[in-house]
Structure 1
Amino acid sequence: MDKTRVLTGITTTGTPHLGNYVGAIKPAIAASQDPNVQSYYFLADLHALIKCQDPKRVQESRLEIAATWLALGLDTDNAIFYRQSDIPEIPELTWMLSCVCAKGLMNRAHAYKAAVADNEAAGQQDLDKGVTMGLFSYPVLMAADILMFNANKVPVGRDQIQHIEMARDMAGRFNHLFKGQYFTLPEAVVDEKVEVLGGLDGRKMSKSYNNTIPLFVSEKKLLKLVRKIKTNSLEPGEPKDPDTCTLFQIYSAFATAEETEAMRQRYRDGIGWGDAKNELFDYLNAHLREPRERYQALMEDPGYIEDVLRKGAERARAEAAPFMDTLRHAVGLGRFI
């Protein structure tokens, strides 16, 4: 029986934080260890150029994210782990898909519509001000990422479902025009159980809000950040609602069911906020200590990370290169002999 193909991209524009780990990294690493699944995990560094024109930041983020996934146990013997920019067939496929993709489809993309709405709200006469072709057409690049490896399932948040539908549209159009079943139509997988962690200010943990707790900061910095998490003014001894508390939410995302229930009882008993923050710090620090040490060792050995990604790219290209030859013939760009 053929393995189910699951593909996930990680945009390389920031430092991984606790929210990334709970919402995406932890379940993806678990899937990487499933022998019935062929997982593709890639550093979406071409996508990063859309949002970030700081070469140093993109380079640092690529290294940090690769080190993070490896430190946390990504199984690179089973999963294929690679840099998007190491697979030249992906931008080539992007162009082929661009040539069958209707501009009207891209006009409806959420990111583009949001940029136009922002310009309209600001009174700009040019509603496309600041919109690059990268921003406008990045759903085509995302479709190429997915279709290059004929992924069956693509885990995404609700805001990304539209892009999977667009990929399906492009795949179907290509198959129809060139009279063949070249592409599998991918399915979006939205896990309603995935935890969305609150940040330091109580809003969703996001680098956009500058309210994150990076995964592998030092113990001293971790303690400082945990102590900054917003709480209410209830005094020690007063019962507290764990279900509206960011401290409890983060704790329960890492703790066992038994540990979570024990902490829930302590909230009912009126745990003080200082004690709750210390408990959270101690638990996180113990949970992250060994991965942090592995991460630091990896960051000091970029050659090892480069070797892992090079091997991943070789495995990815072993599939992508012959498939691209098939696609070139399909569209009339094959060799003469």
Structure 2
Amino acid sequence: MLVKRTVTGIKPTGTPHVGNYIGAIKPALQLAENPERETMYFMADLHALNAVHDARKLKEMTYEVAATWLALGLNPDTSLFYRQSEVPELVELQWILASVTSKGLMNRAHAYKARVSENMEHDREADDGINMGLYNYPVMMAADILMFQGDEVPVGKDNVQHVEMARDIAGAFNRTYEDTFKLPSHVINEHGAVVPGLDGRKMSKSYDNTIPLFVEEHVLEKLVKRVITDSKGPDEPKDTNNSTLFTLYQEFATNEEIAQMKRSYQEGIGYGKIKEELFRVMNRTLQTPRSVYRELMNDQQKIDQLLHEGAGRARNEAQTMMHTVKKRVGLK
């Protein structure tokens, strides 16, 4: 059986919310259930340095995000789970890859272009506030993937370009020296890619419309009650396609419950009742992970231990790859 390796980077830049769970965590963890895939998950704390310049905050968010993934089912015994900064060979590979990467390719990166465009709109210098970490982000991401010969990288639509750039960088190295790196492909989770928040817009911390994953039950219930709906009465048929409540409900309910809720929408059901059902299925799903999350956050040494053990396994592989890479580029 041909096993494909998937590599998933997890950037610790905020407390995880329901949108993160539906859009990224849930589909990424489902890959680990596939016997034809070998999964690697890493805490991208080096990437986070581009935006987070508070050491205490970065450390705390790294624990929060790692605990979240572990609580939701990431098994470090069957998947490789490690902290990016504990594998220094990645930074070494980044420099070597940078030597075969054109500046023109970096100039075309969407994230960089967006920041330049924003600066120009506000009559600022084109590169105002843009650090080299942001500019070189695609090269570091390429190192994350290529070091471990990743076959597939699960990403949102906004990040497809990063995987394409990793392919370009791998191809440039292979042509310059010797065929060394696999050319990775992207895997897009079409379902649940855009998760609506409390106000109907995309769930995002910048909109202040999120539902944090592990809030207390009574807080979760209050947040669900805040979801904005239209003015249709209880007996009027409702459209599931444009319903924030139904979009969230189907991510936590069973197939039978989803089918029943669809019928209720067609026949007529009050929004208050829908919200009650949404809270029920969400709380059912999150109750046990919430408890595990709290245990982990109260024992952060356990998180450190798991990440350190994973990093040890990752470094063994990284050192072997770097021996090959250095030999091919003429380094000792």
Which aligned pairs between 1:119-138 and structure 2 lie closer than 5 A?
119-124=119-124, 126-138=125-137
Secondary structure in 2 matching 1:154: strand
Q: Percent identity?
A: 53
CA distance in structure 2 between the aligned counterparts of 1:105 and 1:28, rounded to whole angstroms: 28
Q: How does 1:19-30 map to 2 (within 5 A)?
A: 19-30=19-30
Q: CA deviation at 1:35?
A: 3.2
Aligned equivalents of 1:283, 1:159: Cα separation in 2? 30
Aligned CA distance change for structure 1 residues 109 and 313 (closer, same or farther; 3 Å): same
Partner of 1:306: 304
The answer on 1:183 being equivalent to 2:156 is no
Secondary structure of 1:230's partner? coil
For the 8 Å contact 2:32–2:39, the answer to whether it is kept is yes
Q: 1:140-179, aligned counterparts within 5 Å? A: 140-178=139-177
How far 1:184 sits from its partner (Å)? Answer: 0.6
CA deviation after TM superposition for structure 1 residue 140, in Å: 0.6
1:30-69 CA-partner distances (Å, limit 9, x unpaired): 2223333211100111111112222222112111111111
Mapped partners of 1:6, 1:190: distance in 2: 12
User: What's the counterpart of residue 191 of structure 2?
Assistant: 193
Q: Does 1:15 align with 2:15?
A: yes
CA–CA separation in structure 1 for the residues paired with 2:290 and 2:57: 21
Aligned partners of 2:67 and 2:156: how far apart in 1?
A: 24
Q: What does 1:14-163 align with in structure 2 at a 5 Å threshold? A: 14-124=14-124, 126-163=125-162
Q: What secondary structure does 1:243 align onto?
A: coil
The CA deviation at 1:237 is 2.2
Determine the C-alpha separation between the residues in 2 that align with 1:140 and 1:333.
20
Among 245, 248, 252, the alignment partner of 2:246 is 248
| Preserved contact between residue 35 and residue 78 of structure 1 (Cα < 8 Å) | no
Match of 1:4?
A: 4
Unaligned runs of 5+ in 2: none
TM-score between both structures, scaled by the size of structure 2: 0.96
Q: Which amino acid aligns with 1:138?
A: Y
Instruction: Work out the number of aligned pairs and report it.
Output: 332
**2:207 matched residue in structure 1:** 209
Change (3 A) 1:280 1:217: same
CA contact (8 A) 1:33 1:78 kept: no
The one of 219, 223, 226 aligned to 2:224: 226
- CA RMSD between the two structures: 1.4
Query: For each residue in 1:62-91, what CA deviation from the matched residue of structure 2 results, as whole angstroms up to 9, or x when unmatched?
Result: 111111111111121221000111100011
1:195 offset after TM fit, Å?
A: 4.4
Residue 51 of structure 1 aligns to a residue whose secondary structure is coil
Distance apart, 1:133 and its partner CA: 0.6
The change in CA–CA distance for 1:164 and 1:47 in structure 2 (over 3 A counts) is: same
Match of 1:327 in 2: 325
Does the CA contact (< 8 Å) of 1:29 and 1:75 recur in 2?
no
Asked whether the 8 Å contact 2:156–2:193 carries over to 1, the reply is no
Question: Secondary structure, in 3 states, of the residue corresponding to 1:8?
Answer: strand
Q: Which residue of 2 aligns with 1:267?
A: 265
Q: Find the partner of 1:279 among 277, 280, 289.
A: 277
Query: What is the distance in 2 between the residues matched to 1:114 and 1:26?
Result: 28
CA spacing shift, 1:76–1:162, aligned 2, 3 Å: same
SS at match of 1:268: helix
- Contact 2:211–2:223 (8 Å) recurs in 1: yes
Aligned to 1:92, what secondary structure does the other structure show? helix
Q: Which runs of 5 or more structure 1 residues have no equivalent in the other structure? A: none
CA distance in structure 2 between the partners assigned to 1:189 and 1:270 by the alignment: 38
Aligned counterparts of 1:305 and 1:143: Cα–Cα separation in 2: 26
- Partner Cα separation in structure 1 for residue 57 and residue 229 of structure 2: 33
**Partner Cα distance (2:208, 2:150) in 1:** 33
